[in-house]
Amino acid sequence: MSRFQTDADWLPYHPSPSKPNFTPPAGAVDAHCHVFGPGERFPYAAERKYTPCDAPKKQLWSLRDHLGFARNVIVQATCHGSDNRALVDALQAARGLARGVATVNSQVSDDELSKLHEQGVRGVRFNFVKRLVDVLPVATLTGLAERVKALGWHVVIYFEAPDLAEFYDLFVSLPTIVVVDHMGRPDVTQSVKGGEFDRFVRLMDENPNFWSKVSCPERLSKVGPPGYSDVVPFARRIVERFPDRVLWGTDWPHPNMKTHMPDDGLLVDVIPRIAVTQELQRKLLVDNPMRLYWTETN
């Protein structure tokens, strides 16, 4: 029995995802997923805003193999704060088949950053979603970005569309590659062209150091599974306009889903509808993530 009580409304990850109809290209990377705990070994952070059910690395490897992927990029989730031990444990167990995006605070030493690099971390995540974190001061974020730039890392940012205007100047001042989670969480009930989403497309147009994850239809969709059809035009627009700056991930184990827990096989079947040629699929799933995370083995 864990000493952590999972939130009463927490939805556990899908116990038996279907086999997707779409076969990912050889070497495909799931570039956005998490590990949670197990809490007994890797305690959840005191400052967390939610307590998930454990989602350990072994389950992630089973999912990777079942879905036809070869590698993972594991992103530190807010429930672990800036304690990256569960992430590092998974990276070490993956024997080169996983890379990480960590969360660090301003007290992190250069030695700790170098060690994280050796352990497979290639980026830091700055989270601006107010229900998930207490946002760090701008000066702290800018200072951290400069320090990780020296390691050749990038910055992953997570925000919701209505907050883009507030953080815009900070985002474009970041000196590294900047990877945006889930297309900046657009409101998919709005028009894919001419509306609020244009601001995000402009951000990508005007800043060639910006990349986007075209992930999380399950979070953005109002129509839901099996097709998540309302999200498809948004992701397709980004993939076709920025084919060399897009990544895709499952988002397993799908934290904070309140209405349904997705079948990961169905999420994979969205890929050929947002990347409609084999070339786009190869860039999205292999070439781009390999260029960003596995430079030294290319």
111 is catalytic: no
Residue 30 near ligand 0GY by CB under 6 A: no
CB of 251 to ligand 0GY, least distance (A): 5
Alpha helices in the chain (DSSP H): 57-67, 85-94, 110-118, 138-149, 164-173, 197-206, 217-220, 232-241, 264-268, 271-274, 278-282, 288-293
C-alpha–C-alpha distance, residues 171 and 249, integer Å: 22
CB of 282 to ligand 0GY, least distance (A): 24
Q: Residues 181, 251, 264, 269: which is the catalytic one?
A: 251
Residue 77 near ligand 0GY by CB under 6 A: yes
Residue 84 near ligand 0GY by CB under 6 A: no
Bond from prior residue into 38 cis (ω within 30 degrees of 0): yes
Residue 221 near ligand 0GY by CB under 6 A: no
**Which residues have C-beta within 8 Å of that of residue 59, sequence separation ≥ 6?**
13, 253
By CB under 6 A, what part of segment 165-194 binds ligand 0GY? Answer: 181
The interface mask with ligand 0GY, positions 110-139, x = CB under 6 A, is: ----------------------x-------
Sheet holding 246-247, edge to edge: 29-33, 71-75, 98-102, 121-127, 154-158, 178-180, 210-213, 246-247
Among 72, 84, 221, 256, the residue binding ligand 0GY under the rule CB under 6 A is: 256
Among 13, 39, 53, 78, the residue binding ligand 0GY under the rule CB under 6 A is: 78
Q: Catalog residues that contact ligand 0GY under the rule CB under 6 A.
A: 34, 77-79, 132, 158, 181, 251, 255-256
